[in-house]
Structure 1
Amino acid sequence: MTANSDVVVRAEALVNLTQRLTELLAQQAQAFETRRPHEAADTIEESAKLANVYRFESARLKRDPSVMNGAPPALRAQLLRVTEAFDAVLARHGRALEAAKTITEGLVQAIAEEVASQRSATGGYGSSGERHAPADAGVAIALNRRA
């Protein structure tokens, strides 16, 4: 293999990696947007692995852009196009995740407030004038604020 063919192989691999990662993130964003996050879970592991490889390769390319010297102009243009598509899908994915997070936090907060209001309800008064505690007064609830 010549130096030029090494560049072509590297550029094609980066194009394929970026396309696959874009596809996975688009599927995940769609799942979050349609309120079916369980469908996104199927691709989380693969997208995390690919994202790490992408991060490594893009950092290497940023440090030394000359690694793409010798790549055919059409391949360089294709890499630019798939990178732009990836950036757009990444932004969409971020918005979908933020929306899902906001909805989840709102639900958790509403549940916590309902539980708290039910617990603070008085149990009434007994014949001696003492307050009765609610039946579940000794039960604790833990909420994860990162839900």
Structure 2
Amino acid sequence: MALAADNAADRVEQLIILTERLTELIAVECQAFEGRRPQDAAANIEETGRLANLYRHESTRVRADPRLVQGAPPAQRQRLIQATKAFDAVLARHGRAIEAAKTVTEGLVRAIAEEVAGQRQQVSGYGPGATLSGQPASTATAITLNRRA
């Protein structure tokens, strides 16, 4: 998918709109993570993904051929630069929010695993006849982690 621009000014205007909308969506995600409500971040995930892909595609095109935007008025190009700076700032904030959520999640998983391990019965006695509190030994307990989360 690509922008359908008639000229450089039209392309720059569309890039500004795209960048501002993407900045808005990512800021909402940041608020969800910072508010400890990551489930709320999923509300716009489809649109964010689609716009992020379009942004990546268009920024690659402009980087490869700067003439696509050179004909736009300087004031309009300056607005695009400002929108891009705001986008970069919200991306940095998003990265920090994601890292914090990841750290909290890993800590919870670790705490749960330690609690499960602490709840296991201890061996009574020593030697071939040792048992687990009078019950037969149980099998190991597995914890599954989703690395994509």
TM-score, normalised by the number of residues in structure 1: 0.85
User: Structure 1 residue 131: deviation in Å?
Assistant: 1.2
Q: Please, which moves more after superposition, 131-140 or 29-38?
A: 131-140
- Hey, which bits of structure 1, 4+ residues long, moved more than 2 A? 132-143
Partner Cα separation in structure 1 for residue 76 and residue 137 of structure 2: 67
Identify the residue that residue 73 of structure 2 maps to in structure 1. 72
Gaps of 5+ in 1: none
Greater helix content: 1
Q: Specify whether residues 8 and 110 from structure 1 end up closer, same or farther in structure 2 by C-alpha distance, changes over 3 A only.
A: same
Aligned length: 140
The share of aligned pairs that are identical, in percent, is 54
CA RMSD of aligned residues (A): 2.2
User: Quick check: 1:17–1:54 contact (8 Å CA) kept in 2?
Assistant: yes
Partner Cα separation in structure 2 for residue 48 and residue 26 of structure 1: 14
User: Quick check: 1:123–1:132 contact (8 Å CA) kept in 2?
Assistant: yes
Identify the residue that residue 18 of structure 2 maps to in structure 1. 17
Identify the residue that residue 103 of structure 1 maps to in structure 2. 104
Q: Specify whether residues 84 and 113 from structure 1 end up closer, same or farther in structure 2 by C-alpha distance, changes over 3 A only.
A: same
User: Structure 1 residue 140: deviation in Å?
Assistant: 2.7
The yes-or-no answer on 1:56 pairing with 2:18 is no
User: Quick check: 1:11–1:76 contact (8 Å CA) kept in 2?
Assistant: yes
Gaps of 5+ in 2: none
Q: Deviations over 1:103-123 (max 9, x none)?
A: 00000011011112212x326
Q: Specify whether residues 5 and 56 from structure 1 end up closer, same or farther in structure 2 by C-alpha distance, changes over 3 A only.
A: closer
User: Structure 1 residue 83: deviation in Å?
Assistant: 0.3
The yes-or-no answer on 1:94 pairing with 2:64 is no
Partner Cα separation in structure 2 for residue 38 and residue 116 of structure 1: 29
